[in-house]
Structure 1
């Protein structure tokens, strides 16, 4: 979590600066924010927003069965992994 805060410039630009400038309470609050809202990486958030807009524009002209997922337009996003239980049901 500390490196992500440092990369985002929250509390400083190095892990040492983040440790010295933020309290443990603030770090925990940022961790909770990240869990609720997603990544602090602005590039990733822009990529997700752009993919959602592209998918929405394509899907408005297609039938529901043919819709594309926004994930198809996010080259830097990890693939969704299927859990063990879901693999058994397939």
Structure 2
């Protein structure tokens, strides 16, 4: 049985690419906030959705308010791999 296809918005895909690049930290807890390049992510609902869909996770355990590195899950890597590639003109 195959995994369901996840359709990402442009913003969600950009956030996943930033996670892949090591530019995202997130708080620990059940509704983690994300920070890109040290700044609060402008779309926390999308950040929460990516976490709840199992596409990103904290790289290690921490206290509820602690910021830790975010990492892609296997599902997150798969979602990015399924994204269409665009080429510059």
TM range, normalised to the smaller chain?
A: under 0.3
- TM-score, length basis structure 2: 0.24
Which one has the bigger strand percentage? Answer: 2
- TM-score, length basis structure 1: 0.24
